[in-house]
Amino acid sequence: MQRCIAVKKKGSTQQCSSPHLKGHTLCGTHARAKTVQLWKDVQVVDPRIIVCQSIARKWAVLHRLRFGGPGVLKRKGLANDDELVSGEESNRQHPFEYFAFTENGKTWWFDFGTIWIWSLKSLTPSNPYTKVPLDKETRKRLRDFWAYRTRHSIKIPPEPENINERFDTRLHFLCQTFIDHGFIDVEPRQLVRLSKQSHITMWKFLLEDVENIAGPLRGWCRYMLARQIATTNSFTYIINSLRILMRYVTEKKEAYCTVFSVMSAIYRC
């Protein structure tokens, strides 16, 4: 029931309990009144609630800024002055789109979209300037940043339009994730060999692992199993499966158990 938005009576701080009229925001009594005081204007907000809200907002902003790395707020002593692709100056780069890492005592920074797309071009991504491979911590922070943005519906860098290139970038993402969790022998060719039926079997195994766990992991498994009949094109099903796997292996903060279950399912296919 949609309630009237006026106060119950003059001098009260309680909302009117009567339903509003159809096509109106007030009930019949308040609609006929000469002056009406709205309930939203007389609400008494506990100062402690405001403090808690400000702390929560501050934590949310700081949490997002942590993905940016060194120099996210203080842009001094950076190894490169301008962004590699856009040419944006360092002091004009938005902190939410900033990503940096330290290499041999120098801090290199990029737009998140630039370094993300670059990192998926190969199995062993490197610093575009020095060609030194990115360390494990940097690769993990990149994936965590991507997962955070995806989870909160924040714009993420576009994937290649070419379907084969998109397929390769998803393979690189997954293989890098597996390698960073200790499965050093995984390579794209191992995943390329998986057929549509193998992917279906993999999702069945994964569903058994998370059947009693509430959350998106179980939902994604059921979704992919439900799509097996509707998606008649094998390649389409496989590339969609890889996309869901990218979300699957980055869902949890400590993802080793999740990655282990995926690798176990792949080896059993």
Confidence of residue 99 (pLDDT cuts 50, 70, 90): very high
Whether 158 maps to a domain, the answer reads no
Residue 240 near residue 231 (C-beta atoms within 8 A): yes
94 and 175 co-located in one domain: no
pLDDT tens readout for residues 16-41: 989 988 888 889 888 888 888 888 88
Which range of residues forms the domain containing residue 23?
1-44
Averaged pLDDT, 80-94 = 92
Confidence of residue 253 (pLDDT cuts 50, 70, 90): confident
65 and 115 co-located in one domain: yes
Cα separations (Å) of 106 from 70, 94, 130, 137, 201?
Answer: 10, 21, 11, 16, 46
Whether 111 maps to a domain, the answer reads yes
Higher pLDDT, 8 or 241: 241
- Of 117, 101, 120, 119, residue with least CA distance to 109: 101
3 and 61 co-located in one domain: no
Residue 233 phi/psi, 5° resolution?
Answer: -80, 120
Whether 157 maps to a domain, the answer reads no
- Of 214, 213, 224, residue with least CA distance to 247: 224
Whether 231 maps to a domain, the answer reads yes
pLDDT tens readout for residues 133-189: 999 999 999 999 999 999 999 999 999 999 999 999 999 999 999 999 999 888 888
Angstrom distance (rounded) from CA 262 to CA 94: 36
Angstrom distance (rounded) from CA 225 to CA 208: 12
147 and 167 co-located in one domain: no
Higher pLDDT, 177 or 50: 177
Instruction: Report the pLDDT value the prediction gives residue 132, as an integer from 0 to 100.
Output: 96
Asked which of 127, 151, 175 is the last residue of a domain, the reply is 151
204 and 253 co-located in one domain: yes
Give the burial string for 184-211 (b: 16+ CB within 10 Å, else e): eebeeeebeebebebbbbbbbbbbebbe
What total of structural domains would you count in the chain?
A: 3
Averaged pLDDT, 226-236 = 93
And the tokens for 66?
Answer: 């942590």
Angstrom distance (rounded) from CA 121 to CA 235: 20
Confidence of residue 252 (pLDDT cuts 50, 70, 90): confident
192 and 144 co-located in one domain: no
Residue 187 near residue 123 (C-beta atoms within 8 A): yes
Whether 156 maps to a domain, the answer reads no
Tell me 38's DSSP state: B
pLDDT tens readout for residues 195-216: 999 999 999 999 998 887 778 9
182 and 234 co-located in one domain: yes
Instruction: Report the pLDDT value the prediction gives residue 45, as an integer from 0 to 100.
Output: 66
11 and 90 co-located in one domain: no
77 and 167 co-located in one domain: no
104 and 188 co-located in one domain: no
What is the residue-averaged pLDDT of the chain? Answer: 91
Whether 217 maps to a domain, the answer reads yes
Residue 154 phi/psi, 5° resolution?
Answer: -95, 145
Is 43 a residue whose pLDDT tops 90? no
